[in-house]
Amino acid sequence: MKKEQLQEMFNAMLNRKLDESWEKPWFVPVNKNSAVTNYKTGQQYKNGNFIFLLFASMFKGFNTLQFMTFKQGLSLGYLVNKGSEGLPVYFYSFSFYKMVGGQRKNLPESPYNTWTTAQLSDAKIVKLPFIKIHHVFNVTQFSDVKTGENLQTVINKTLLDATEDKGNINSNPERILTGCENVLTSWQCKINLVPGSDRCFYNPIEDFIQLSGRPQFINNEYFYATLLHEVTHSTGHEKRTARIKKFNESYKNHNEAYAIEELVAEISSAFIMASNNFAPERQKINSAVYLQGWKESLKEDENLAFKVCAEAYKAISYIAERFPEAVPYFNIKSESHSELTEVGEEVEMAS
């Protein structure tokens, strides 16, 4: 699968979501056994892969977010069910070459992948980045090679054991999320609760958030969803991730930049809500505004899907690094690994 096909798949899923006015959350609830990880290695997917697999899982109806390659599953004694379709994930790699007698001579990746830019330049070796794409399958698509037992059964039992003491999702809409309360009182910019106000927004110029009075929300789920949406916007400030400035400079049309920023905020806040087993029934984006901005931007930027996924991941990471209790089961330590390290075994297994 080529990079363009991956983008097309993401766009199709996003457009379908935005075209439909679904009265349900974006993602299935996440817990420690389904936090977008590789089932065999236990490593969490990162960057665009993290967000893409969330989207794909939502549309395919997977109730766990663990994946692995065909050969990884086989090494554990599980075979991919007939007719199952894999999902593409990508990572960045490099090729090396030098010109010899006017002809391009390709070089092996090792040992040049450890050379500095200066060393490569002195040796007249060119380092060329490219994207590698391979496929992973959800664990629910595997069955035991010997018994035929579906791995879904094992996952279901694990999920049940992990959540049996938490009650049903939304069964207690007034429950308090300590992590989100800490964000409310200790976030990096001021958060103003204005009783009677009908406006909730983030002001990037003065760097503050305004929310309506808490009693004005239907319940705490709606309050937290709105809080996290605006907090995610604030992660884009120039002194944090600088995402807002980047979008404004990349997209001269203000409406396009606005729509993309809203998309990042909605994806990020929806995931954090789901990770807390909170799923507001009416949490959805303003289809008319966001979809139009998305489609217009796609005409000018063929890599937009990758950028949105990567920026949403950065926003989630920024919040989780400072308030880990607000984003349960999000593996901050995985940030110490490169994308290549994360999927290195998978590439070997899939070859």
> Peptide bond before 111: cis, by omega within 30 degrees of 0?
yes
On average, the pLDDT of the chain sits at 79
| 253: in domain | yes
Give pLDDT tens digits for 284-293. 444 445 555 6
| 124: in domain | no
| 160: in domain | yes
Label residue 341 by pLDDT band (50, 70, 90): very low
CA gyration radius, the chain: 22
| 131: in domain | no
Report the C-alpha gap between 123 and 106 in whole angstroms.
Answer: 14
| 130: in domain | no
| 111: in domain | no
Give pLDDT tens digits for 183-194. 999 999 999 999
Specify the DSSP element, H or E, that contains 313.
helix 304-322
Domain tally, the chain: 1
Q: What is the pLDDT of residue 234?
A: 98
Residue 143 has pLDDT above 50, yes or no: yes
| 319: in domain | yes
Label residue 258 by pLDDT band (50, 70, 90): confident
Phi and psi torsions of 120, nearest 5°: -65, -40
| 94: in domain | no
Tokens of 160: 């049940």
Percent of the chain, pLDDT > 90?
41
Residue 150 sits in which domain range?
3-86+138-350
Label residue 8 by pLDDT band (50, 70, 90): confident
Q: Do strands 37-38 and 190-194 pair parallel, antiparallel, or not at all (unpaired)?
A: unpaired
Label residue 136 by pLDDT band (50, 70, 90): very high
